Chain A
Amino acid sequence: MSKSSQILASLAVGLAVCVCLQGCSSANQAANNPNKLQGKLVLTGSSTIAPLAAEIGKRFESEHPGVRIDVQSGGSSRGITDARQSVADIGMVSRALKPEEKDLKAFAIARDGVTVILHKDNPIASLSDKQIVDIYTGKVTNWKQVGGKDGLITVVNKAEGRSTLELFTHYFKLKNTDIKAQVVIGDNEQGIKTVAGNPNAIGYVSIGSAENSVTNGVSIKLLPVNGIAATTANVQNGTFPISRPLNLVTKTEPQGLTKEFLDFARSQQVSDIVKKQNFVVVSK
């Protein structure tokens, strides 16, 4: 008898504590954020955007504890299909939308630019598009042939499937099978280290990470493309030729949670995350 009443009493106390705690926490939430957000958002698509979206999602979740952001990669085309078929709330597409995709609403959260880098000691200040193509296809193998010092060119290429490679080959209308590389690298950092350690190397990397290294005193230099200086400013204002927007797309005009998240992803609150991942913040 006494035993069961004991259990009942403890249950009652536990219940009371629960109710009180829940009341407190929801009161807190309401104070921070008047229109309390609840629910789950699914983002699928580009593997370039996925890490960025995941970081933004984490910050969004910490500010809105009732929200879950689920990020899955699988390529830009998956982002398009999933958003169209409403499998995902938001699709991630790491390129500008094609004319036949204009039924979707696109929101750029960042830009990505790619440029050619050389060692700082290399006297060459610029290369024409044709010269770069000739170097990458192995028609030009010595710096002397393009006005530099005598020395064999070390061509640094990206590994298959990397988005930087896609952007680079698309602009120069190259096929990856035609590129004659001496070094194949993975991420931008490795490319920068390789070029910094070899005065005869030529490579191409994301502008964000290259600028970052130059300010940290790494001995590389960024070449202009088509006469336009490779700076984040030029990527930002859209004049730099090798760049692309990183888009979040939705099927219909976003509302509610989706709209909140898109606004958040394009706000100043996440610009540090964008810069940290070596992308360029878009000016609205």
Chain B
Amino acid sequence: MTLLKSKTLLSFPNDQWLIWTLRLLAVIAGAIALLIIIFLILESLPVLNHVGLKRFFTDSSWNPTAGLYNLLPMLLGTLLAMVGSVLIATPIGILSAVFCQFYAPPVVARFYRSLIELLAGIPSVVYGFWGLVVLVPLIAKMHPPGASLLAGVAILTVMILPTIALVADASLAKVPTSYLQGAAALGLSRWGTIYKVVFPAAKSGLFTGLILETGRAIGETMAILMVCGNVVQVPKSIFDPIRTLTANIALEMAYATGDHRSALFVSGLVLMVMIVLLVAVAEVISQNSTS
């Protein structure tokens, strides 16, 4: 905004072109998101007209070929897997970034960072496959059937950990050196500096990392599909299988026709609403923190 208001910048005619090009590109980027939402609504309209939105939350079960469309257990499954993995991954990620920035010798830190980057690059289907052949049988020995909410949370934690660790690492690195020097001059301990000075200064960066990992946890499909068991039910313990909304779409998409297919678009719409809510909450919180 400040750049646009300054007269000196706008006096160059080339900048006018640049501004309009950038505006056009911004409109395209925004339009893509809007088009997706419109498409989702259009595709889900047939079933919404037939059965109404309410029945997606009040039906007795999810049996779309028998005309029953309850999405609530899947919504709950998605939320539980997300909350569980975010609760575990966030402290590990942030503390590993602290180790990397303030405690580790530079050589170790560099090595450690590239390991985390490697972890971020592994495709999700590989995590899922590993979960299916190693983790699930392991959990099955403790408590059958193995494919469960616990397996899902464990896999998701590993998958979102690099996101929070890398973003936290970058935002801790951006804390001005003068802050650290000031803290040292005051005689604060290393942990005291981190806790009282670095964390507050890096707060918005850490928060961005949290939002990004949460988004990834909600959207993850392939790995979750392979380890969660996919039974549509409200889990009574962490050893019970669950189905997430994303897994629901991936499982049934290939064979769905008519109202069933349309109902899958409704689950996509519900996912979209969840993401919109997440972004909205993030917006509110980050505005509170800056003001």
Stretch at the interface among B34-42, B223-231, B265-273: B223-231
Against B, the Cβ 8 Å flags (1 = close, 0 = not) of A190-202 are 1001101110110
The CA of A159 and the CA of B137, in the complex, are separated in Å by: 21
A232 to chain B, nearest CB (A): 24
Supposing A182-B147, A186-B250 touch, asked if A198 and B243 sit within 8 A by C-beta, the answer is no
Chain B residues with Cβ below 8 Å from A193 are 132-133
Contact A198 B145 (CB under 8 A): yes
User: Is the Cβ of B145 less than 8 Å from the Cβ of A197?
Assistant: no
B255 with A161: CB separation less than 8 A: yes
Q: Which of B218-250 contact A (CB under 8 A)?
A: 225-226, 229-232, 241, 243, 250
Please state if B133 and A197 are interface contacts (CB–CB under 8 Å). Answer: yes
Closest chain-A Cβ to B260's Cβ sits at a distance in Å of 6
| B64, CB-defined interface residue at 8 Å | yes
Whether A185 is near chain B, meaning CB under 8 Å from some CB there, is yes
Q: Do residues B66 and A177 form an inter-chain contact, with CB atoms below 8 A?
A: yes
Asked if B15 is at the interface (CB within 8 A of a chain A CB), the reply is no
Interface residue tally for chain B (C-beta within 8 Å): 31
Whether A247 sits at the interface, judged by CB under 8 Å, is no
| Contact pick for B226, options A159, A161, A190, CB 8 Å | A190
Known contacts: A74-B257, A193-B132. The answer to whether A159 contacts B251 by CB under 8 A is: yes
Q: Does B144 contact A (CB under 8 A)?
A: yes
Question: What B residues does A134 contact at CB under 8 A?
Answer: none
Interface flag for A154 (CB, 8 Å) = yes
A278 proximal to B (CB < 8 A) = no
B114 CB within 8 Å of chain A: no
Which residue on chain A has the smallest CB distance to residue B254?
A: A47
Given contacts A47-B254, A161-B255, contact A197 B144 (CB under 8 A): no
Bound-complex Cα distance A186 to B125 (A): 14
**CB-CB under 8 A for A197 and B140, given A159-B230, A182-B229:** yes
Give which listed residue, B62, B144, B225, B251, contacts A154 with CB less than 8 A. B144
Asked if A183 CB lies within 8 Å of chain B CBs, one says yes
B56 to chain A, nearest CB (A): 15
Closest residue of chain B to A180 (Cβ to Cβ) is B231
**A162 within 8 Å of B by Cβ?**
yes
| Whole-angstrom CA separation of A75 from B144 in the bound complex | 36
Q: What is the CB-to-nearest-CB distance from B64 to chain A, in angstroms, rounded to a whole number?
A: 6
Q: Which residues of B contact A160 (CB under 8 A)?
A: 62-65, 252, 255, 260
> From B264, which residue of chain A is reached at the shortest CB distance?
A161
Say whether A184 faces chain B, with CB atoms less than 8 Å apart: yes
Binary interface encoding of chain A residues 258-280 relative to chain B, with 1 for a CB under 8 A from any of its CBs, else 0: 00000000000000000000000
In the complex, are the beta carbons of B241 and A161 less than 8 A apart? Answer: no
Which residue on B lies nearest to A200, using beta carbons?
B144
Shortest distance from the beta carbon of A124 to any chain B beta carbon, whole Å: 16
Identify the B interface with A (CB < 8 A): 61-66, 132-133, 136-137, 140, 144-147, 225-226, 229-232, 241, 243, 250-252, 254-257, 260
* 5 smallest beta-carbon distances between A and B, as pairs: A161-B255, A184-B230, A154-B145, A182-B145, A159-B251
| A–B pairs, 14, beta carbons within 8 Å | A74-B257, A75-B257, A159-B252, A160-B64, A160-B65, A177-B63, A183-B145, A183-B147, A184-B243, A184-B251, A186-B251, A190-B132, A193-B132, A198-B146
A160-B62, A177-B63, A194-B147 provided; 19 other pairs, C-beta below 8 A? Answer: A47-B255, A152-B144, A160-B252, A160-B255, A160-B260, A161-B255, A176-B66, A181-B231, A182-B145, A182-B229, A183-B145, A183-B147, A183-B231, A184-B230, A186-B225, A186-B250, A193-B133, A197-B137, A198-B144
